[in-house]
Amino acid sequence: MEGHSYAGRLTVEENLLVVDMSKSLARPKDILYTLKRRYGLNVTIMKRIYNARQKSRVIEKAEWHRSYGTANIVRDLFYAHPTSIKLLRTFPHILIMDYTYKTNRFCYPLLEIVGLMSTHLTFSIAFVYLSAEKEDNYRWALARLRSVMDVNSIPSVIVIDRELALMNALHEVFPGV
């Protein structure tokens, strides 16, 4: 069972150790050495260390994507920086959403979500590449935005242009706004 992938899985405690050591800028080989020394029965491999580090970075950055087909082609991509999320949690009251077209070689529209501080300055919250301007795509993007917000901090005002699909998705994800 030693060569089997199940045996090399990291436990919750081991995963926390990998994340903590990674934040302390430890090299992956030192992390693996520490795991083997601390947990005598651990048979994980270096690839597991790299995967655990990558997973923690993605969670930290708030990055999601949706894909389709057997080729795993990315359809929609949501990205928010950790500092932007902290600002959003501090100033969740007014959000502005707008599209920019033809900004990349795939011609995906870019939905930029911006917040407004109490000092009347704006800050970028998230950037979302959507494959289509349909209600389902907007609903997915807004659900990702809602998941990084605090439970009790719902925006009071969301400013958009007259995009009907976005308006319908907003009524579903942020009712009463």
Average pLDDT over the chain, rounded to whole? 86
The CA distances from residue 31 to 4, 14, 68, in Å, are 21, 10, 35
- Provide the token pair at 163: 């995009």
73-112 burial, b for 16+ CB within 10 Å, e for fewer?
Answer: eebbbbebbeebbebbeebbebbebebeeeeeeeebbbbe
Percent of the chain with pLDDT over 70: 93
| Token pair 């998705």 in the structure block, residue | 169
Residue type, 110: L
d(CA 39, CA 151): 38
| Token pair 């949706």 in the structure block, residue | 66
- Provide the token pair at 120: 């009347």
pLDDT at 2 over 60: no
Q: Say whether pTM exceeds 0.75.
A: no
Residues contacting 39, CB < 8 A, separation 6+: 14
d(CA 10, CA 118): 44
pLDDT digits (tens, 9 = 90+) for 100-147: 887 777 778 899 999 999 999 999 999 999 988 899 999 999 999 998
pLDDT digits (tens, 9 = 90+) for 15-33: 889 989 988 889 999 998 9
- Provide the token pair at 145: 């935005």
Banded pLDDT at 4 (limits 50, 70, 90): low
In the predicted model, what is the mean pLDDT of residues 48-67? 80
Structure confidence at residue 1 (pLDDT): 45
Residue type, 77: L
